[in-house]
Homo-oligomer: A and B are copies of this chain.
Amino acid sequence: MLLAKIYIKPKSTVKDPQGNIIQSSLKDLGFLNIENVNMGKYLEIKLDTDNELTASEDIKKMCDQILTNPLIEDYSFVIEKI
């Protein structure tokens, strides 16, 4: 069994209104040394296989086809044996 951990975040050239709201809320709470906040998505996908190579290819296809919007989001992932 493999676990893919996928990190999706807005491209640096894209506005991130959620991140901005969180940043200003944190400043209001007294956290003053925050330079920037980016809000993205985190996915864990459990795969019933032990073949890391095909799993990696599958995860890449999933990200490109359905999980991310390549126009506005970047992603990365790691695959772990569980």
| A39 interface residue per 8 A CB criterion | yes
Could you say which residues of chain B place their CB within 8 Å of the CB of A39? 41-43
For chain A, which range describes its interface: under 10, 10 to 19, 20 to 34, or 35 or more residues? 20 to 34
Give the number of copies in the complex. Answer: 2
| A37 interface residue per 8 A CB criterion | yes
Could you say which residues of chain B place their CB within 8 Å of the CB of A33? 47-49
List 29 A-B residue pairs with CB atoms under 8 Å apart, sorted by A's residue number: A1-B35, A7-B7, A7-B42, A9-B44, A19-B43, A25-B66, A26-B45, A29-B62, A33-B47, A33-B48, A33-B49, A34-B45, A34-B46, A34-B48, A35-B46, A35-B48, A36-B45, A37-B43, A37-B45, A37-B46, A38-B43, A39-B42, A39-B43, A40-B41, A40-B43, A40-B44, A41-B41, A41-B42, A42-B42
